[in-house]
Amino acid sequence: MKVSDAVADFISKIGTSKVFGVSGGASLHLLDSVRRHPNLRLICVHHEQTVAMAADAYSRLTNRVGVGIVTSGPGATNLITGIAGAFFDSVPCIFITGQVSTMRMKGELGVRQIGFQETPIVEIARPITKLAITINNPHEVLTTLHRAWNIAISGRPGPVLIDIPDNIQRMELVATEQTFEIYNTNSIDDLNTSETSDHFLKLLRSSKKPIIVCGSGIRISKNFDSVVQKIAESKIPVALTWGAKDLFSSENEMVLGTFGTHGVRIVNTALNTCDLMISIGSRLDLKATGSPLTSFAPNAKKIMFDIDLNEIMKFKKLGMKIDLPICLDISSTYFDFLMDILSKFEFQIDDWKFELQTLKNSTAEEPRNFKGFGVNPYKFIDRLSELVSSESNIVVDTGCAVAWTMQGWLVKTGQRIIHDFNNTAMGWSIPATLASVLSQKERKTICIVGDGSIMMALSDLSTISSSGSSTIIFLMNNSGYSMIRQTQDQWFGGDYFASSESDLHFTDFAFLAKANNFDYYRIENEIEISSTLVEALKADSNVFCEVIIQPDARVVPIVKFGNPNHQMEPEL
């Protein structure tokens, strides 16, 4: 069996059906084997960054391992931003790079390069992968693939990179029956379960104002449905990270909304007041906690569930006390036992719920009356979320687009909202949209992207339009980088350098849409929002809808960097 054929067969056997790739001299044998495999579909795109980001989104949406294949040199290095996004968001992917033939590799010669487009991608990618390795022996291919796959999906998931020289791809090996055993890397042998359970119950009993913080670790756990159900049964108020935005319907009265530096004011206020904070599947990064760390839930005892011990232990050095740190896989039996305790515990928190409801009713309306020609983004997001069906994937890009969406979107049961939450790369939504329309054709794909972000991903609009499935791209055109302009308001007195149309140059988006076979719509004022959205959402074709956003529209409220979360700007 040819090595590249064995690689393709392995990809099929782990349940992946779509492989994203860009051709190149050192990847042709791999791509040829994938395209000839009866159970695989090769998706050819125009940029290796699209390969990485699309594989990432494919994994998020299907719960299967995303796979991307590119060539050596610039092909491999173009993967880096997408690999980083998958690493920081704990998304299991396998990236396979072609490499120059072994006889053309520099080895220990001390030179920079021997073979054409030879690049040390393994060394470059190692800090942002769970495993990065070069295969120099054809008989190591299957064992290495099996090991890499297990590493990608076990423990805290993440991407792996396998570098295969061109001559190794062309060699033959003896085909063997492959077994797919998943290694158990989530032992809790060191956890004193009796002492932990007692402490957990003691903290529950002493609480009058509890809040559960939900992170994206819940979404990627193997018992996702069970965890969500037991959190809902606890009737405890819930605060969401961006990665957990779609865990619950917005109609659930216990769901307060998203929190953090770009969160909702009343949620940050509630966390500032609570006496018990139970974090599940969130690493509690600085965007979530604000600064200084001691200002986050300052009156609360803190329980933290996380699979990564380093994420828990970091707080000892950073100055925030975790009263009950519990390092385990939240799909474990012991976690399920603790969730049973939580879901059945009879909290006496009617006064707390009344306090939160009073806070919600008494909080003044956020000052979001922006000026100038165009659409208020919050009114647009509000109406769009009302109209989008429950069986939809909402793919969001970075900048103000994601902040407005996370603050304003009203989630329906069944909707998925995805974004590269911790890397927030401009242009991520276009590759992710491609992955969505190819992997889940039965669902509507809604892409929300800013004018700055889309300029970084123009290469694969044509790939989306030719995919055979319809999608809708909503371009929120705010004439540049509105999030950067908001930072410049705070630190540079409104001097908008490198963030507005005086320095940035954009394409004609109407011509761009038509050139890529999208039906073009345009919304210039709020009167047009409802009628245009209704027409665009019922279309069977690919739709590109440009929404002209008021130029002074900002994320409201927001926390200025360095301030605690409960001190949001502007003050009410």
pTM: 0.95
Where does 193-362 sit in CATH, by number?
3.40.50.1220
Give the sign of the dihedral formed by CA 27, CA 28, CA 30, CA 34. positive
Q: What backbone phi and psi angles, to 5 degrees, belong to 238? A: -120, 130
* Domain 377-548, CATH: 3.40.50.970
DSSP result, 519-564: EEEEE-SGGGHHHHHHHHHT-SS-EEEEEEB-TT---SSBPPTTSB
Residue 2 class from Cβ within 10 Å (0-12 exposed, 13-18 middle, 19+ buried)? middle
How is residue 409 written in tokens? 């979107």
Q: Are 569 and 301 in contact (CB under 8 A)?
A: no
pLDDT given at position 10: 96
Give residues with Cβ within 8 angstroms of 348, minimum separation 6.
208
Count CA atoms within 13 Å of residue 259 on its CB side: 33
pLDDT number for residue 182: 54
Domain with CATH 3.40.50.970 in the chain: 3-170, 377-548
By C-alpha distance, which of 220, 214, 54 is closest to 153?
Answer: 220
* Predicted confidence (pLDDT) per residue in 261-296, tens digit: 999 999 999 999 999 999 999 999 999 999 999 999
Residue 335: CB atoms within 10 A of its CB come to 22
Question: Of 31, 443, 422, which Cα lies nearest the Cα of 244?
Answer: 422
Judge contact between 90 and 136, C-beta under 8 A. Answer: no
What pLDDT is recorded for position 177?
59
- The radius of gyration computed from the CA coordinates of the chain, to the nearest angstrom, equals 24
Amino acid at position 346, single letter: E
Question: Which are the contacts of 279, defined by CB distance < 8 A and separation ≥ 6?
Answer: 212, 213, 215, 302, 303, 304, 305, 306
Give residue 482's region: left, alpha or beta (phi > 0; psi -120 to 50): alpha
> What CATH code would you report for 3-170?
3.40.50.970
Express the helix, strand and coil content of the chain in percent, nearest 5 each: 40, 20, 40
Query: For residue 375, what is the DSSP state?
Result: B
Q: Which residues in the chain land under pLDDT 50?
A: 184-190
- CA 152/CA 65 separation, integer angstroms: 8
> Tokens standing for 103?
């006889």
Both tokens of 389, joined, read 């069906």
d(CA 54, CA 45): 10
Instruction: Give the separation between CA 425 and CA 85, rounded to whole angstroms.
Output: 8
Contact 78, 50 (CB under 8 A): no
Q: In 328-484, at which residue ranges do the beta strands (DSSP E only) sit?
A: 392-396, 416-418, 444-450, 471-477
